[in-house]
Structure 1
Amino acid sequence: MNTANAAGADWSQTRERSNRFALRFISWVAVHGGRRAARVLLWPITAYFLLFAAPARRHSRRYLARALGRTPTWRDQWRHFHHFASTVLDRVYFLRDMPQCFDLQVEGAEPLRQVLDAGQGAFLVGAHIGSFEALAAAGRAQGCSNIAMVMYPDNARMINAALAAIAPGFQMRIIALGQRGATLAIRDWLDGGGLVGLLADRSLPGAAQRETVHRLPFLGHEAPFAEGPFRLAQLLRRPVIFMAGLYNGGRAYRVRFEPLADFSTVPADAHGRDEQLRAAVHAYAARLESLCREAPYNWFNFHDFWLEDGGVAAARDAGAGAGRPGDRTG
């Protein structure tokens, strides 16, 4: 089994360019000016990142070349950043419970309903693709309001600060990994019939020293995928549902739920458990790859996902004072 050291893709140390003042300003325009007026802000925001965010631009170009199967044009990159900025703006309306602003289509709701009816809880595993807020809105429409997000502590603090700026009255249940009692808190939440959401397309730097990181074919090149989220589901013997909230432009979002793995029954032998985990990680990578080809401008992982950058490129971009879009945390 191949493993990879994720230290080269230290996304957790990259400085965010967003701040509370900017988020509050965007939120004020969005609420008081309406979505049509607020979308005018997307043009200068997109232009700013396309012109000045050198690392994000490099990672976008590399990813788009592989997802599109051709050399991306500046229009492709503009569309990529514009999609990202659009989903960030639309958080305001989703978090303020204004779904009437959107054409929200849901696919695969039946597996989610079956899990909710069984009252056993489940893991919703997604990626930094599209809009998690659209997913949460679709979940509420299906009668599920008890969703907890599991994330690293630093990311939990960042997202709480962002939520306070965008929607002060909105409360999100967050369980921070790495803290005492986190696994028990997740188990108790699941036992209460809740859903636990994780974004599994990133590994914390140094993860290979703590867990197995599989190197799998992804858009024509090997990429690291950590098995941690799936090992947790296996430990707690819960089903895993893949989730994605794709932005289709304008007012259109397409939310998708799809069964990915079922750990309700776990093999007794270690080899069988490892094979079960391996199959789940492979299925996740394949599902994510398929979505990236289907909706290439929706994947917002603006960092060195394939672990291909060397020190020279990183130093050059740092010297230029470049930054990246404020990635969604998870």
Structure 2
Amino acid sequence: MADQVTRRAVMAAPLAMALASGPARAAAPGLRQAPAVVRVEGRRRALFELWIDRTPITTVSVRDAGSGALLRTFEGHDLEGRRVTQADGAVVFVELDLPVSTKRLAIAAGDQRVEADLPPDPGPMLGPPLRGGPWVAIYKAEWPRGHRRVFYAPDGKPRLPGRTAIDWVRVDDRGQIATGDADLARNALGYGAEVLAVADATVAAARDGVPEAARLSDNGKHPEELAAGNYVSLDLGGGRHAIYEHLIPGSLRVKVGDRVRRGQVIGHLGFSGDSTGPHLHLHVADAARPLLGEGVGYGFERFTLLGRYDDLGRLGSAPWSPLAGLDPKRRDELPGSNVVVRFTG
């Protein structure tokens, strides 16, 4: 899946940040981007990246800036597993569930501290991008080369467009994702599925004509600007854009400037660009072009939760595991990591 594809990432040096400095400069945490907020399985969750200088740190703590309550401490192995090291320091990727009352975070690394306001809501709630199911919502924050950790800087400014991205893969009740020769792209169960507009919107950007390999094993690396393959970007209003990637060449039914209605077919699920198999990549960002926006919060108005792949290595060979303790009828939230869903309405 694209979340596991090695993309051409640019890990740029941290930008200057306004910090509440302590008496000594042991570490200098900074936030390039305001935290994204989503709602997952009934919980409010914040996602942000902490940029740190080259001095090693052993502890990062997150507090409610208003009450001072400690929300989470990351240290030792837990911290190491969330960090990407670069020449000019490191980036620590933080995701944590928050009380509804928390409006502002105070984040400390060593004796340095930075504060950040949280968005007032979890972003736009969308209609289904695909019909029916089952569909697996593939993403995982911990994957070292997953969407959540890959920065791009086509214009010199590092951005994280895939902060809340999901790769959607069609599966059957046995957990199979293809029929016959699984190396043939057209044999994937989701290949050619109708891709739907998630809202009444305007087409802000699009690209068609990027060819596909007939076989998964023949799909080589693409230049960074073609990594998304054939794509459509819908302007949702409020500075938010829904971006669909890897569509079949020649399948786009819209062009820039078109008005679309929720549920309208805008293209077909394919295999173009950097991809390990046919799927629909979908994310919401604050810019129309795939690599020029920061990923932001969003969710879906409704979907039915069928189960989860705790071990994604079982996908394609075994059914998903059932979930206990959750109402399968989900509303106004983002699907959890590697869950299996069915879209309705």
> How does the TM-score come out when normalised to structure 2?
0.26
- Could you say which structure has the higher helix fraction? 1
- Could you say which structure has the higher strand fraction? 2
> How does the TM-score come out when normalised to structure 1?
0.27
